[in-house]
Amino acid sequence: MNNSNVKITAKEILSDNWYTLNKVTFEYKRKDGSWETQSREAYDRGNGATILLYNKETQSVILTRQFRLPTYLNGNEDGMLIETCAGLLDKDNPETAIKRETEEETGYKITDVKKVFEAYMSPGSVTEIVYFFVAEYSKEVRISDGGGHHEEQENIEVLEIPFNDALSMVINGEIKDGKTIMLLQYAQLNALVSKT
Protein backbone atom coordinates (compact mmCIF):
# COMPACT_ATOMS: atom_id res chain seq x y z
CA MET A 1 0.00 0.00 0.00
CA ASN A 2 1.61 3.17 -1.21
CA ASN A 3 -0.81 6.08 -1.42
CA SER A 4 0.17 9.24 0.46
CA ASN A 5 -3.47 10.41 0.34
CA VAL A 6 -4.63 7.48 2.50
CA LYS A 7 -3.81 6.80 6.16
CA ILE A 8 -5.35 3.69 7.71
CA THR A 9 -6.06 4.48 11.35
CA ALA A 10 -7.96 1.41 12.58
CA LYS A 11 -8.89 -2.09 11.51
CA GLU A 12 -11.50 -4.20 13.31
CA ILE A 13 -12.48 -7.78 12.51
CA LEU A 14 -16.28 -7.95 12.39
CA SER A 15 -16.44 -11.62 11.43
CA ASP A 16 -14.04 -14.45 10.68
CA ASN A 17 -16.61 -17.22 10.61
CA TRP A 18 -16.08 -18.21 6.97
CA TYR A 19 -13.63 -15.65 5.64
CA THR A 20 -12.77 -12.25 7.13
CA LEU A 21 -14.96 -9.17 7.24
CA ASN A 22 -13.00 -6.11 8.36
CA LYS A 23 -14.14 -2.63 9.30
CA VAL A 24 -11.40 -0.22 8.21
CA THR A 25 -11.25 3.39 9.33
CA PHE A 26 -8.96 5.67 7.34
CA GLU A 27 -8.19 9.27 6.59
CA TYR A 28 -8.47 10.36 2.98
CA LYS A 29 -6.95 13.56 1.57
CA ARG A 30 -9.42 15.37 -0.67
CA LYS A 31 -8.49 17.38 -3.77
CA ASP A 32 -8.73 20.62 -1.80
CA GLY A 33 -6.05 19.33 0.60
CA SER A 34 -8.37 18.71 3.54
CA TRP A 35 -8.49 15.34 5.29
CA GLU A 36 -11.68 13.46 6.03
CA THR A 37 -12.24 10.31 8.05
CA GLN A 38 -14.03 7.46 6.32
CA SER A 39 -15.03 3.98 7.40
CA ARG A 40 -15.69 1.00 5.11
CA GLU A 41 -16.22 -2.73 5.42
CA ALA A 42 -14.06 -5.02 3.28
CA TYR A 43 -14.59 -8.75 2.87
CA ASP A 44 -11.39 -10.75 2.40
CA ARG A 45 -11.89 -14.23 1.03
CA GLY A 46 -8.59 -14.52 -0.80
CA ASN A 47 -8.03 -14.33 -4.54
CA GLY A 48 -9.54 -16.62 -7.14
CA ALA A 49 -9.26 -17.93 -10.67
CA THR A 50 -11.77 -18.86 -13.36
CA ILE A 51 -11.52 -20.57 -16.72
CA LEU A 52 -13.50 -21.01 -19.93
CA LEU A 53 -12.94 -24.43 -21.47
CA TYR A 54 -13.67 -24.36 -25.19
CA ASN A 55 -13.58 -26.83 -28.08
CA LYS A 56 -13.07 -25.46 -31.58
CA GLU A 57 -14.08 -28.68 -33.30
CA THR A 58 -17.47 -29.00 -31.60
CA GLN A 59 -17.83 -25.23 -31.08
CA SER A 60 -18.82 -25.81 -27.48
CA VAL A 61 -17.86 -24.66 -24.00
CA ILE A 62 -17.86 -26.29 -20.58
CA LEU A 63 -19.81 -24.46 -17.87
CA THR A 64 -21.07 -25.46 -14.45
CA ARG A 65 -24.35 -25.06 -12.59
CA GLN A 66 -24.63 -24.86 -8.82
CA PHE A 67 -26.69 -23.31 -6.04
CA ARG A 68 -25.49 -19.84 -4.98
CA LEU A 69 -27.19 -18.62 -1.80
CA PRO A 70 -26.48 -14.88 -2.25
CA THR A 71 -28.23 -14.93 -5.65
CA TYR A 72 -31.16 -16.80 -4.10
CA LEU A 73 -31.46 -14.07 -1.47
CA ASN A 74 -31.45 -11.41 -4.20
CA GLY A 75 -34.04 -12.47 -6.74
CA ASN A 76 -32.64 -15.63 -8.37
CA GLU A 77 -35.76 -17.81 -8.04
CA ASP A 78 -34.10 -21.20 -7.60
CA GLY A 79 -30.65 -19.95 -6.65
CA MET A 80 -29.00 -21.97 -9.42
CA LEU A 81 -26.29 -20.17 -11.39
CA ILE A 82 -24.54 -21.14 -14.61
CA GLU A 83 -20.86 -20.24 -14.41
CA THR A 84 -17.38 -20.85 -15.69
CA CYS A 85 -15.35 -23.19 -13.48
CA ALA A 86 -13.76 -21.18 -10.67
CA GLY A 87 -12.23 -21.39 -7.23
CA LEU A 88 -10.00 -19.77 -4.67
CA LEU A 89 -6.23 -19.94 -5.06
CA ASP A 90 -5.72 -21.52 -1.61
CA LYS A 91 -2.09 -20.28 -1.49
CA ASP A 92 -1.31 -21.73 -4.95
CA ASN A 93 -0.33 -19.61 -7.93
CA PRO A 94 -3.29 -18.85 -10.23
CA GLU A 95 -2.30 -21.35 -12.95
CA THR A 96 -1.86 -24.25 -10.52
CA ALA A 97 -5.12 -23.35 -8.77
CA ILE A 98 -7.20 -23.21 -11.94
CA LYS A 99 -5.86 -26.55 -13.18
CA ARG A 100 -6.80 -28.09 -9.81
CA GLU A 101 -10.25 -26.51 -9.81
CA THR A 102 -10.89 -27.56 -13.39
CA GLU A 103 -10.19 -31.19 -12.60
CA GLU A 104 -12.22 -31.13 -9.36
CA GLU A 105 -15.25 -29.31 -10.77
CA THR A 106 -15.45 -30.49 -14.39
CA GLY A 107 -13.44 -33.71 -14.50
CA TYR A 108 -11.19 -32.38 -17.29
CA LYS A 109 -7.43 -32.64 -16.69
CA ILE A 110 -5.92 -29.79 -18.67
CA THR A 111 -2.24 -29.01 -19.02
CA ASP A 112 -2.15 -25.87 -21.18
CA VAL A 113 -3.96 -22.79 -19.89
CA LYS A 114 -3.69 -19.20 -21.05
CA LYS A 115 -4.16 -16.26 -18.69
CA VAL A 116 -6.11 -13.55 -20.50
CA PHE A 117 -6.61 -10.88 -17.80
CA GLU A 118 -7.30 -10.25 -14.13
CA ALA A 119 -9.95 -8.11 -12.47
CA TYR A 120 -11.38 -6.90 -9.17
CA MET A 121 -14.95 -8.17 -9.38
CA SER A 122 -16.62 -6.17 -6.60
CA PRO A 123 -14.10 -3.48 -5.58
CA GLY A 124 -16.51 -1.56 -3.37
CA SER A 125 -16.68 -4.32 -0.79
CA VAL A 126 -14.57 -7.38 -1.66
CA THR A 127 -10.75 -7.49 -1.80
CA GLU A 128 -10.62 -10.43 -4.24
CA ILE A 129 -8.74 -10.34 -7.56
CA VAL A 130 -9.91 -12.97 -10.05
CA TYR A 131 -7.45 -14.35 -12.62
CA PHE A 132 -9.13 -15.26 -15.91
CA PHE A 133 -7.98 -18.19 -18.07
CA VAL A 134 -9.01 -20.02 -21.21
CA ALA A 135 -8.04 -23.52 -22.36
CA GLU A 136 -9.00 -25.96 -25.06
CA TYR A 137 -10.56 -29.23 -23.98
CA SER A 138 -11.41 -32.52 -25.65
CA LYS A 139 -13.21 -35.65 -24.54
CA GLU A 140 -9.83 -37.39 -24.29
CA VAL A 141 -8.78 -35.27 -21.28
CA ARG A 142 -11.91 -36.00 -19.24
CA ILE A 143 -10.82 -38.25 -16.40
CA SER A 144 -13.91 -38.09 -14.13
CA ASP A 145 -17.44 -36.75 -13.86
CA GLY A 146 -16.26 -33.74 -11.85
CA GLY A 147 -18.83 -32.21 -9.54
CA GLY A 148 -16.49 -30.78 -6.90
CA HIS A 149 -15.51 -32.05 -3.47
CA HIS A 150 -18.25 -33.59 -1.31
CA GLU A 151 -16.47 -32.48 1.88
CA GLU A 152 -16.59 -28.88 0.63
CA GLN A 153 -20.35 -29.29 0.16
CA GLU A 154 -20.02 -28.77 -3.57
CA ASN A 155 -22.77 -30.17 -5.74
CA ILE A 156 -21.73 -29.02 -9.21
CA GLU A 157 -23.39 -30.01 -12.47
CA VAL A 158 -21.12 -29.99 -15.53
CA LEU A 159 -22.64 -28.59 -18.73
CA GLU A 160 -21.35 -28.84 -22.28
CA ILE A 161 -23.10 -26.09 -24.23
CA PRO A 162 -22.80 -24.97 -27.87
CA PHE A 163 -20.95 -21.66 -27.82
CA ASN A 164 -23.66 -19.75 -29.70
CA ASP A 165 -26.27 -21.07 -27.25
CA ALA A 166 -24.15 -19.81 -24.33
CA LEU A 167 -24.03 -16.34 -25.93
CA SER A 168 -27.81 -16.41 -26.35
CA MET A 169 -28.16 -17.44 -22.69
CA VAL A 170 -26.36 -14.23 -21.72
CA ILE A 171 -28.78 -12.15 -23.78
CA ASN A 172 -31.90 -13.89 -22.48
CA GLY A 173 -30.74 -13.80 -18.84
CA GLU A 174 -30.11 -17.51 -18.28
CA ILE A 175 -26.44 -16.67 -17.64
CA LYS A 176 -26.09 -13.82 -15.14
CA ASP A 177 -22.65 -14.48 -13.66
CA GLY A 178 -20.19 -11.65 -14.34
CA LYS A 179 -17.01 -13.70 -14.75
CA THR A 180 -18.80 -16.06 -17.15
CA ILE A 181 -20.14 -13.22 -19.27
CA MET A 182 -16.66 -11.67 -19.41
CA LEU A 183 -15.02 -14.90 -20.59
CA LEU A 184 -17.74 -15.69 -23.14
CA GLN A 185 -17.35 -12.19 -24.58
CA TYR A 186 -13.57 -12.60 -24.61
CA ALA A 187 -14.00 -15.85 -26.55
CA GLN A 188 -16.35 -14.14 -29.00
CA LEU A 189 -14.09 -11.13 -29.53
CA ASN A 190 -11.05 -13.35 -30.07
CA ALA A 191 -12.85 -15.98 -32.17
CA LEU A 192 -11.66 -18.77 -29.86
CA VAL A 193 -14.46 -21.14 -30.69
CA SER A 194 -14.75 -20.44 -34.42
CA LYS A 195 -13.48 -23.15 -36.74
CA THR A 196 -10.46 -21.97 -38.72
pLDDT digits 0-9 by tens, 29-67: 999 999 999 999 999 999 999 999 999 999 999 999 999
Pairwise CA distance, residues 76 & 166, whole Å: 19
The amino acid at residue 58 is T
CB-count exposure of residue 11 (10 Å: 0-12, 13-18, 19+): exposed
The C-alpha torsion from 69 through 74 and 75 to 81, rounded to 10°, is -40
Category of 175 on φ-ψ map: left (φ > 0), alpha (ψ -120 to 50) or beta: beta
**pLDDT 10s digits, 115-145:** 999 999 999 999 999 999 999 999 999 998 7
Angle (CA) 94-135-47 rounded to 5° is 20
Between CA 54 and CA 187 the distance in angstroms is: 9
The CB density around residue 51, as the number of other CB atoms within 10 Å, is 32
Cα–Cα distance for residue pair 49/135, rounded to 1 Å: 13
Strand partners, 12: 23
The stretch 100-104 carries a mean pLDDT of 95
Q: If pLDDT is split at 50, 70 and 90, which confidence band does 94 have? A: very high
The amino acid at residue 25 is T
User: In the predicted model, what is the mean pLDDT of residues 165-182?
Assistant: 97
Which one, of 189, 181, 178, 137, lies nearest residue 160 by Cα? 137
Residue 196 has pLDDT above 60, yes or no: no
Q: Cβ(145)–Cβ(158) under 8 Å?
A: yes
H and E: helices and strands count for the chain: 4, 10
Band of pLDDT at residue 151, cut at 50, 70 and 90? low
Name the band, by pLDDT with cuts 50, 70 and 90, for residue 146: confident
End-to-end CA distance of the chain: 46
Q: Decide if 82 contacts 159 (C-beta within 8 A).
A: yes
Distance CA 52, CA 84 (A): 6
| Angle of CA points 57, 61, 62, to nearest 5° | 130
